[in-house]
Amino acid sequence: MAYLDRQTATHGDGLSESARSERAWSEFTASNRVKRLALTEHEAVFFEGDRAERLFEITDGAVMLYKLLPDGRRQVVEILGEGSLFGLQASDLYDCSAETLTPVRLRAIDRHDLEAIPDLLGHINQCLLGQLQTMHDHAVLLGRKSAFERVTSFLMRFVPKRGEVGCAGPAKDGPDEKVVVLAMTRQEIADYLGLTIETVSRVFSDLRRRGLIAAEKHDRVRILDICGLCKLTGTH
Amino acid sequence: MAYLDRQTATHGDGLSESARSERAWSEFTASNRVKRLALTEHEAVFFEGDRAERLFEITDGAVMLYKLLPDGRRQVVEILGEGSLFGLQASDLYDCSAETLTPVRLRAIDRHDLEAIPDLLGHINQCLLGQLQTMHDHAVLLGRKSAFERVTSFLMRFVPKRGEVGCAGPAKDGPDEKVVVLAMTRQEIADYLGLTIETVSRVFSDLRRRGLIAAEKHDRVRILDICGLCKLTGTH
DNA sequence: CGCGATTTTGATAATGTTCAACAGTAGTGG
DNA sequence: CCACTACTGTTGAACATTATCAAAATCGCG
């Protein structure tokens, strides 16, 4: 199952993105200009400022992109799951660093080889549009949402088909639950949400006290009332 | 002169973007499937949720994209200048609203006509990459910067060639000045920076007291010490 | 000049941060 | 298996920054 169901589900126009991607990459894979690599969790893929010679597609797992300020403040700018592209730049240097969150399998391709395969362009476009739209939502979160809304919005990311435009609501029968694997430390979550670890921790505790979530492990949460959580995101 | 020099200057790989754009649009313009429109300031181009049937390129002027939360909170997610594209969506609805900041000239094209002109794809890609990179920087601003850093970063956006990687520094002779036209109300600036109008106003006043800027008009500022301002952005 | 709108300034309140202590968890080695 | 350690996460109290509310000042314009 994809790390971020929502992320990969957003773009859709008839043909599924993964199918489009496969078709686009196929001739490439054959030409063995595509390198495959496997990384464990919390491994760096590249650093901000490195020469951007390759771009990557996530075959499996999750990757975060982050930027650092000179005094050490960090902002995680994107969290990417299966099917997402990263490392493609407008300039010739990476504008942010990339690090795995989980064990990850990647396909890498030299940026110069890109021009040879115009087929990929459409797929890349679709990917970038999805990422841009996600960034818009994230800007709203960072610029206008409270700590509570940020954390609950973050949790709702992991619940596919809920909190979207035409949300079906909870199933009539049975509880409105889901177990969610965050695969991120408190520090990473805080840096993604523009908060401190303490604030993130406090919100989690509060949600637990209110009976909206239950802790399975530190990075594993059981959401007990998806609808209730959704109402706290500020989006609805 | 472009509204946002920085914005349009970022992407560059040999051929200038405006030249690439011209070439890409040329056959299109001829086919008169391109509609041109001119708008005055503070006119809506489209609203979030409208069917995304057309995309736009800014020939001249500036446009902002924003999103609203149901309780009325607003986040301006992008500010776009000459040469920028907007209105292209992954899904079939606009994910945010678009409004002009200045008088604007646009080229509009039906999204279905896009597929007919693969030439445009490369240009669109380059545009999207630039926008995504700008969003990364903006996420850092929203997630990790203080009110002071946000406002000073905002002002530095309008000073081309300064505050970049290889900043030349001030010219040896003469003052390190520049008059900047914001073309935005305090409310718009606040909504872009994730602050309130009062906080924005206070920071401006403080910068004035410190002798870093001088007010020409409300939306017109003379930066008196570009280097000094740059040091307050948190980026350097 | 005078009206309405925007901006600025001031006082107070709220939210989130910081700093510090404590608790839980996993990993290591006797 | 348990004690020890290091790390991550939690909780509390004081503090800082920014928001909120209210009022005054300024600007644009007829």
Please report, for the domain that includes residue B131, its CATH number: 2.60.120.10
Residues B51, B109, single domain; the answer is: yes
d(CA A102, CA A221): 17
Given this model, what pLDDT does residue A164 score? 73
Q: Which of B142, B150, B232 to mutate to test the interface with A (most CBs of A within 10 A)?
A: B142
Q: Across the beta sheet with B104-110, what order do the strands follow?
A: B34-39, B104-110, B54-60, B85-86
- Is residue B103 included in any domain, yes or no? yes
- The amino acid occupying position A210 is R
Q: Which nucleotide is nearest to B196 (CA to C1')?
A: D19
Coil/strand/helix, residue A115: coil
Residues B213, B105, single domain; the answer is: no
* DSSP codes, B35-100: EEEEE-TT-EEE-TTSB--EEEEEEES-EEEEEE-TTS-EEEEEEE-TT-EE---SSSB-SSEEEE
Residues A24, A112, single domain; the answer is: yes
Residues A173, A184, single domain; the answer is: yes
For chain A, list residues with pLDDT below 50: 1-14
Residues B136, B220, single domain; the answer is: no
B44 in contact with A at a CB cutoff of 8 Å? no
Q: Which nucleotide is nearest to A204 (CA to C1')?
A: D10
d(CA A147, CA A199): 7
Helix (H) or strand (E) holding B170: none
Cβ A130 vs Cβ A12: under 8 Å: no
Q: Which of A144, A160, A194 is the last residue of a domain?
A: A144
Shortest CB distance from A88 goes to which of B95, B129, B191? B129
B6 in contact with A at a CB cutoff of 8 Å? no
Query: What rounded mean pLDDT belongs to chain A?
Result: 88
A70 in contact with B at a CB cutoff of 8 Å? yes
Given this model, what pLDDT does residue B26 score? 66
Looking at residue B184, which CATH number applies to its domain? 1.10.10.10
d(CA B215, CA B207): 10
Digit-by-digit pLDDT tens for chain B (236 residues) are 444 444 443 333 445 666 666 666 665 666 667 899 999 999 999 999 999 999 999 999 999 999 999 999 999 999 999 999 999 999 999 999 999 999 999 999 999 888 878 788 889 999 999 999 999 999 999 999 999 999 999 999 999 887 776 677 776 676 788 999 999 999 999 999 999 999 999 999 999 999 999 999 888 999 999 999 999 999 98
Which residues of A are less than 8 Å from B78 in CB distance? 136
Residues A100, A166, single domain; the answer is: no
Cβ A64 vs Cβ A78: under 8 Å: yes
Q: Is the dihedral of CA A115, A117, A123, A127 positive or negative?
A: negative
Question: Whose CA is closest to A78, among A64, A90, A62?
Answer: A64
- Output the distance from B107 CA to C17 C1' rounded to whole Å: 47
- Is residue B236 included in any domain, yes or no? no
Tell me the per-residue pLDDT of B135-192, one tens digit each, with 9 for 90 and over. Answer: 999 999 999 999 999 999 999 999 988 777 667 777 667 678 899 999 999 999 999 9
Question: Whose CA is closest to B55, among B102, B120, B11, B10?
Answer: B120
- Output the distance from A100 CA to C28 C1' rounded to whole Å: 26
**Nearest residue: Cα versus C1' of C7:** B201
Given this model, what pLDDT does residue A4 score? 46
- CB burial of A96-110 (b: ≥16 within 10 Å; e: otherwise) equals bbbbbbbebebbbbe
Residues B154, B139, single domain; the answer is: no
Output the six-digit token pair for A177: 């639950």
Phi, psi of B127, rounded to the nearest 5 degrees: -65, -50
d(CA A189, CA A196): 9
- Is residue A157 included in any domain, yes or no? yes
Residues B102, B128, single domain; the answer is: yes
- Is residue B235 included in any domain, yes or no? no
B211 in contact with A at a CB cutoff of 8 Å? no
- Is residue A220 included in any domain, yes or no? yes
Given this model, what pLDDT does residue B206 score? 97
- Is residue A236 included in any domain, yes or no? no
- Is residue B27 included in any domain, yes or no? yes
Task: Name the β-bridge partners of B108.
Answer: B35, B56
Q: Which of B86, B118, B143 is the last residue of a domain?
A: B143
- Output the distance from B207 CA to C1 C1' rounded to whole Å: 33
B88 in contact with A at a CB cutoff of 8 Å? yes
Residues B11, B22, single domain; the answer is: yes
Question: Whose CA is closest to B24, among B148, B151, B141, B116?
Answer: B116
Q: Which nucleotides of C are covered by protein (CB under 7 A)?
A: 6-11, 15-20, 25-26
Q: Which nucleotide is nearest to B217 (CA to C1')?
A: D27
Range of the domain at B179: 145-230
Shortest CB distance from B125 goes to which of A71, A125, A142? A125
Q: Which of A90, A112, A144 is the last residue of a domain?
A: A144
- Is residue A235 included in any domain, yes or no? no
| Total domains in the fold of chain B | 2
Residues B22, B134, single domain; the answer is: yes
Residues B81, B152, single domain; the answer is: no
Residues A60, A151, single domain; the answer is: no
